Structure 1
């Protein structure tokens, strides 16, 4: 298992998550956060189209898959030492859930609390055979597609203040197939970790080449149908919206697979390995980086309110800030891990897991 490649892949996923959150939040918006600054410019339209095609919904799937992969690695490590792990993993999930709900107070796109709940699924299926894991992953994804068709009728059954709150919660957590996609990616990551899919072997190189071909064909097909439904949705035909969401999800997963397989194949090349190595520290302290990104978003939003006000945020400023702030995150991760073994939140999480302070500084 090439842990350096996995860390770089996780860092790459965090780059995509950062871009979609930052650009969706600020491109074309007023500095005070009160709404759009006006009709989008050609540049803003192009940026949003690029986000929709290549970024939105693509990277959190990779991030989720790597969570399942991490479980497989931790399970293998515990097994090699003859230590039980499932109870400890459940405790780790409880800690992650607590952090996630705190994080959600600051950041509306928070995903950690969902990881904490859905992660329990891994405890239920980790003894299954590989074929059953693949089947379960596919079934969860298909179930998510079907769920979209009856989510709206179900939420309509809830009335009153409490009912509306429940309905709103269901829409927030289950729309866009988020929970089902996370569950499917968790199980798929467990499967890939069990079969050592990230080891540098001839069989895995062939495997990822096949993934590239299948994903490219899948993307082309999903993109075609997605474009067809886009015009229908624009006309306000309600039922078509759910088909639109379905093909958006299929398109996103195809792009995620292209990124994943492409990164693994590129990482085999020494030149690209050196070029991608700067993402490794970000991925190694992925939890800390993910939460730090929320703080960076809040910082930029404060600057917008303070220095821009009701005026529109210039596109070049938004793009430049996105690049500079991510570069700052990368520099901070490199500097931190040069002196310490873990990211700050990883260290706290690990210490709470074992109920004792873990060594932090490098010797």
Structure 2
């Protein structure tokens, strides 16, 4: 019998774990300089540090803002492909199990939202439903659907409607209203005030912001593109995949430069704010996508160089425990900055926050490396995996067996 008969499961792709670790690391750094969505800029800092804070803030958001999340979404779709493919090789339909897995992810997101209202897991758990029907579609149909979603059809509809109706005045963003309400409970010293506020006011703010900024279209598009990357084996090093990523890098750079320039000068080109906002959301979405492709392509290509590989491979444990790390950073980070904990929000600008984020990253990656020496998965990954594949059939069979023995 061939080896494939014994090993039906697709092996882990090392570069994906490293790339996921990079995404989680950059998300952590952004969350830290944002004080985990508690926007406060201390005044009692020397002027030179305020200037440095601004440089760090703008640099990190240029590099990672909207891009780290996009990488995470791309890899979410890839992970679905791997799991679905493994089950198909066994002749099983994964879609029902994936639906249950998304429900579990919703629970993890709910836990995370207690500490950090900007949680993305709950949104992924809902938007991940789009993968259930499309996983049976052919590549062209999936790609076409992903492109349509990435084009931001809702914003184009709003844009043309406003062009045809100059008198139309759109309602203010709902997220601004909820973010304003968040300011009240963020002043509290009570953890319960934060938890309750995050789960209602904060959750509405985060979901509304994601809707208003096109994430409800962009995320499913990236899920589908990640699934296609899996189908085409583009994360597996080969002559064909290397050629693809080199071309992707070239095209992405070519597209990013004009898109970023257009985004920068858009307020000067379109006077009407409401119309400009819709176009800005579209251009920003495309600009972030292009830069994300630049980052992913570069990462994959340089990962194969031995000297750089040895360095980047250290991110693998961090990526393997991405769920644990994502939620842990929220728990620790909120305690560091929020007033129910250390309250460092009052004293730390972007410079201090970046240093804190780096220290937290070093501590987390050290923990991950130590943990995976004796465990195959991170703590929350293990729970998610076990709960995903829980079965009640054996228990029912056992009960029926006992009943038959008694009879």
- Partner of residue 298 from structure 2, selected from 256, 262, 274: 262
Distance 1:168 1:232 in 2: 30
2:18 corresponds in structure 1 to 8
2:42 corresponds, among 23, 34, 37, to: 37
1:122-145 Cα deviation digits (max 9, x unpaired): 110111111111111101111364
The match for 1:360 is none
Match for residue 346 of structure 1 among 381, 392, 403: 381
Among 221, 245, 250, which residue is 1:184 paired with? 221
Displacement of 1:209 after TM fit? 0.3
Whether 1:20 and 2:30 are equivalent positions in the alignment is yes
Equivalenced residues, count: 346
Kindly tell me: are residues 329 and 303 of structure 1, through their superposed partners in 2, closer, same or farther at Cα, counting changes over 3 Å? farther
Q: 1:339 is paired with a residue of what secondary structure?
A: coil
1:331 partnered with 2:366: yes
Alignment of 1:52-67 (within 5 A): 52-67=61-76
The corresponding residue for 1:278 is: 314
Q: How has the CA–CA distance of structure 1 residues 154 and 224 changed in structure 2, closer, same or farther, with 3 Å as cutoff?
A: closer
Alignment of 1:96-107 (within 5 A): 96-107=105-116
In 2: Cα distance, 1:237 partner to 1:344 partner: 47
CA distance in 2, matches of 1:45, 1:157: 26
8 Å contact kept, 1:7–1:280: yes
Give matches, 1:1-363, under 5 Å: 3-25=13-35, 35-38=40-43, 41-142=50-151, 143=153, 145-146=155-156, 149=159, 171-230=208-267, 237-302=273-338, 306=342, 310=346, 312-313=347-348, 315-355=350-390
Say if 1:167 and 1:345 are closer, same or farther in 2 by CA, change over 3 A: closer
Deviation at 1:59, TM superposition (A): 0.6
CA distance in 1, matches of 2:269, 2:321: 43
Asked whether the equivalents of residues 35 and 345 of structure 2 are also in contact (C-alpha less than 8 Å), the reply is no
Distance 2:173 2:252 in 1: 39
Displacement of 1:217: 1.0
- What is the DSSP-based 3-state SS (H/G/I as helix, E as strand, rest coil) of the residue aligned with 1:338? coil
Counterpart CA distance in 2 for 1:157 and 1:248 is 18
Three-state SS of the structure 1 residue aligned to 2:35 is helix
Give 1:34 shift. 7.7
- Offset at 1:153? 7.2
**Structure 1, 211-220 or 75-84: larger mean CA deviation:** 75-84
1:98 is paired with a residue whose SS is: helix
For the 8 Å contact 1:173–1:179, the answer to whether it is kept is: yes
**Which digits, 9 at most, give the CA deviation of each residue in 1:51-78, with x for residues without a partner?**
2311111111110111110111111111
RMSD over aligned Cα atoms = 3.2
Distance 1:81 1:205 in 2: 30
Deviation at 1:270, TM superposition (A): 1.2
Q: 1:110 to 1:324 in 2, by over 3 A?
A: same
Structure with the greater alpha carbon radius of gyration: 2
Aligned partners of 1:309 and 1:58: how far apart in 2? 25
The 1-side partners of 2:205 and 2:339 are apart by 31
What secondary structure does 1:295 align onto? helix
How far apart, CA to CA, are the structure 2 residues paired with 1:14 and 1:342?
Answer: 16
Q: Report SS of the residue matched to 2:115.
A: coil
Query: How far did residue 87 of structure 1 move?
Result: 1.0
Q: Secondary structure at the match of 1:119?
A: helix
Q: TM-score, normalized by length of structure 1?
A: 0.86
In the alignment, the residues of structure 2 paired with residue 148 and residue 98 of structure 1 have an alpha-carbon distance, to the nearest angstrom, of: 34
Cα 1:337–1:231 change in 2 (3 A) is: farther
Q: CA deviation at 1:330?
A: 0.7
1:182 to partner: Cα distance? 0.9
Q: 1:300: how far off? A: 1.8
> Residue 232 and residue 300 in structure 1: after superposition, are their counterparts in 2 closer, same or farther (change >3 A)?
farther
Secondary structure of the structure 2 residue equivalent to 1:25: coil
Q: Against the structure 1 CA distance between its residues 168 and 294, is the aligned structure 2 distance closer, same or farther, given a 3 Å change threshold? A: closer
Distance 1:172 1:294 in 2: 19
Q: CA deviation at 1:7?
A: 0.3
Q: Spell out, residue by residue over 1:275-313, the C-alpha distance to the aligned partner (whole angstroms, 9 max, x if none).
A: 101110111111111111111211321589647584x32
- Measured after TM superposition, the shift of residue 120 of structure 1 is 1.2
For the 8 Å contact 1:19–1:55, the answer to whether it is kept is no
